[in-house]
Structures are given as C-alpha cells and as structure tokens.
A and B are shown apart, each in its own frame.
Chain A
Amino acid sequence: MFSNLRTIWVMFLHAFAKRVTVQYPDEKRKLPSRWRGRIVLTKDPDGEERCVACNLCSVACPVGCISLQAAEDEHGRRYPDYFRINFSRCIFCGYCEEACPTYAIQLVPDYEMGEWRRKDMVYEKEDLLVNGQGKYPGYNFYRVSGLSIKGKGKGEAENERPSVDPRELVP
C-alpha cells in the first residue's frame, strides 16, 4: 500500500522532469561520422571513379541489393558500366564498405531517403556517385598497390607511393 502511494508520488514528480523525446522533423540528432546511412560511390583525388567493378560488394551484400556490370576503358582500367543499389532492400549493414578494396563504396550519415514509390528507391550510378573522396581523402588505389618485381619493390615505381600497411587502414 505504501509503495503504491510512493509510486504515484514519484510519477507525479516526473511532471517536472525533462522529456526524452527528440521531436524528429523539428530537431535532429547529431549523427556520428561513421553512421551507416545512404551509400555513395566516391572518387579518387584525380577525380576518377574509385570503383573497379570487382563485384566484391555485390557478393558481400547479405540481401543482394547491389547489382553492377563491369566494363573497361581504352587504358584497360575497369569501371562499372552500371551500378545499381535497391535501397528498399538495403539493410545498411556496411558489409559492402568493408568488402570494397578501393574504398569506393562508402556509407554516409544520411538516412532521410523516404520515397512515395518503391521504384524510386532504386538508385542508379549517377545517383550514387559523389564528387568527393569520402572518408579517405588522398587515397588512390592505383598509387598504393602493385606487384613487386625483380629489382623494384612494391610502390617504388614511377607515380607510385609506398604501399600502406593494411592493418592501419582497418576502420
């Protein structure tokens, strides 16, 4: 009986407590920079697409929402002919970002992607491609990797930088 009365009193005092609700459309929470939201395709410092159409993201995707077709330009550099993410299926797990060997595909802190029609949730390459370098500025896949040959180690050739210890790049 006493505990009931006390509960009522404590509950009454909560009238003066701060409310925890975040009034979403009016006030938005600050998202951490590594928030897994909308997926983008980044470019390297030279302004070229980083994606080499290796299909690893597509393979890693647990819901199979990434679809792409590889193509080669005149220099033999691979790029995706089309790159399509169906965001009505995407679960924002970030496995594609982890699988990507070139840091091309990245998840950014943006989640306001609501659409009226399901069809509009499918993002094509031009929707995904951004003009920036994303979370890894200055990184160029073609300049930090390569094969060591006789008399010339990895990253010692012209236009190459010494290779990076992959353990340092782990997010």
Chain B
Amino acid sequence: MSPALSVVLCIVLLVILMIVGGLLTWVERRLLGLWQDRYGPNRAGPFGVFQIFADILKLLTKEDWIPEFADKPVFVLAPAIMLVAVVAPFAVIVFAPGILITDLNIGLLFFLAMSSMTVYGVALAGWASNNKYALIGGIRAVAQMISYEVFMGLSLMGVVIIAGTFSLGEIVERQQSVWYFAYQPVGLIIFLIAGLAETRRLPFDLPEADSEIVAGFHTEYSGMKFAVFFLSEYVGMTLISALIVVLFFGGWMGPFLPPILWFVVKTAVLIAFFILVRAALPRYRYDQLMELGWKGLLPLTLLNLLATGAVVLAIGK
C-alpha cells in the first residue's frame, strides 16, 4: 500500500473512531434504557441522536480545571496516554481485505502491548490528581490490569496455535472454513471477560466505581479531559469488540453483504453485548475480582492452552 493512501486511511479511521466514540455515548444510554424499561435520551433530534452534540457543547463550555494540588504535566498527559493507547491498536486491525493500515506480522502482540499501556493512563491520572479517591481508583486499575493482562494474552494463544501466526490478516484468512469460536469457545469466553476488565466496563469497573469512590481515577477531571477519558473507554470497547470479531468470528467473512459491512455488523453486535452485560450485572467486589482472575480464569486459560496445544500436536496440523 502506498504511503499516501495509508495516511489518508489513518485520518479517516481516526475521524470514524471519534464519531463512533461519540455515538456510543448515546447508543449506550439508549440501549441501557431499552433493557431497563425506560427511554434514555430521546428528545433532542430523531431518537435523541443530537444529545451527542448537546453533550459535546456542554463539555466544551465547562471549566477546564486543573486542581492546585495536582501534578500538572502528568495530569494533562494521562488522558492523552489513554486515548493513544486505545487508538493505536486499530492500526493492526483488519477491517476488510485491503482496508487496513498495516498488517504487522506481530499484530496480536502489538495489540497486547498497547492495551497494557492504558493502565499507565489510569494509574497516572489517579496519581497526578493527588486525591485519595483518584488514587484508590488508580491502584485498583493497576491491580486489575496485572491480574487480567496475564490470561488476556494467554487466552489468545490458543487462536495463535491453531492459526500458526500472529498476523491478524492471516488469522482471518485461516477462518475461511470454520470461525475460531468453534475451536476456542473457552478462549473466547475468557477473552470476553478479560476484555471487560481491560476496558474497565461493568461488572469490572472497579477503577471508576461511581458508588464507592466518587468517579475513581477521573474524579478530578472536568471538561474535555474528562471527555477524553470517556472517549477512550468507548473506543476501547470498540477495539475489544473488533478484535474479538477478527480473532473468533471470522472478521469480514460472511455471505451476501460486502465484507466491511459484515465487520461493522459483527462489531456492533458485540458492543451491544458489552452494554447488555453492563445493564445486567452488578459490580464485583475487589477480592472477588482477584479470586476470579487468579484462581479461576488463569488456571482455566492454561488448561485451555495445554489442551489446544495437545490436540494440534496430535492432529499434526
């Protein structure tokens, strides 16, 4: 692919991601409303879509305040780290044949590395705020990431063993006959759970935990910096959904519709599932979260990996 086209694609992708992030703030509230037997924002514009613009306008006119007691450079840097860390992995995601920015031969590892970076954003935000609730939120985020990062990577290794490659493009190609969720159901479920924890969505939103620690790591943030945190949460959710589609649900594969549309539809369904989980499940307690991670899912992941390896070895693929 020529460099110029690549740059254009980058910009288009960035714009689309921002729009999707904004749209998801509205979609989430409408869907939560639907599942909780109420309406959600439905008054501004058709179905309340213009609520997004109202929110943006509100956030732009808010005072962009940095607390006196905060560590200013880090305070400003933290949301930027968050957003960069969730946007960067889209570089390796394969949307459709030919529609991708770069097909790294270590695409999956790149994703894992970048998604681990988000924890810096959260932890630094909590630390720089110099506020006890923010700090608790940051610490929780770090603990949660360390626990869930481990088997998040390992749960994907089953797919890698079967596909025999780290490149996302090739992984999709290998799913021509059977989508990998059929081969790796355990891996899919574990990655879903880890993805929830990774994006700090309910039931694993301990770093935010509105009902316990005000707003967790972004307690002290206001205006557009706060909006950036929200945007990166929604972009992160899109990222995890897109990755699950690529790894387990055959990426762009599907009959009749054009490939890119299949990709969008599958991703949208997964995002809706993420929101459904938020609507349904209460937040885990801190020790329950740790217990589930270390005692439950990590051994399960290792077993899954072992079994996958054994089967692949036996068949001699």
Contact = CB atoms under 8 A, between A and B. Distances in A.
B276 A12 contact: yes
A33 to B, nearest CB: 29
Contacts of A4: 280-281
Given A4-B281, A7-B280, A8-B280, A14 B39 contact: no
Instruction: Tell me the interface secondary structure of chain A in the complex.
Output: helix
A7 B38 contact: no
Interface stretch (A17-25, A114-122, A149-157): A17-25
Contact of B279 (A11, A19, A21): A11
Interface in A1-16: 4, 7-8, 10-12, 14-15
B281 A14 contact: no
Contacts of A8: 276-277, 280-281
Interface string B283-297: 000000000000000
Nearest to A7: B280
B106 interface: no
Contacts of A15: 34-35
A23 B39 contact: yes
A147 B218 CA distance: 74
B39 A11 contact: no
A14 B38 contact: no
A98 B280 CA distance: 47
B36 interface: yes
A4 B278 CA distance: 12
Interface in B252-286: 276-277, 279-281
B35 A12 contact: yes
B37 A19 contact: yes
B280 A11 contact: yes
A14 B37 contact: yes
A9 B38 CA distance: 18
Contacts of B37: 14, 17-21
Contacts of B39: 19, 21, 23
A51 to B, nearest CB: 42
A19 B38 contact: yes
B277 A14 contact: no
Nearest to B282: A7
Contacts of A23: 39
Interface in B5-56: 33-39
A116 B37 CA distance: 33
20 contacts: A4-B281, A7-B281, A8-B276, A8-B277, A8-B280, A10-B280, A11-B276, A11-B280, A12-B35, A12-B276, A14-B35, A14-B37, A15-B35, A17-B37, A18-B37, A19-B33, A19-B39, A20-B38, A21-B38, A23-B39
Given A11-B280, A15-B34, A18-B37, 18 more contacts: A4-B280, A4-B281, A7-B280, A8-B276, A8-B277, A11-B35, A11-B276, A12-B35, A12-B276, A14-B36, A14-B37, A15-B35, A17-B37, A19-B33, A19-B34, A19-B37, A19-B38, A21-B39
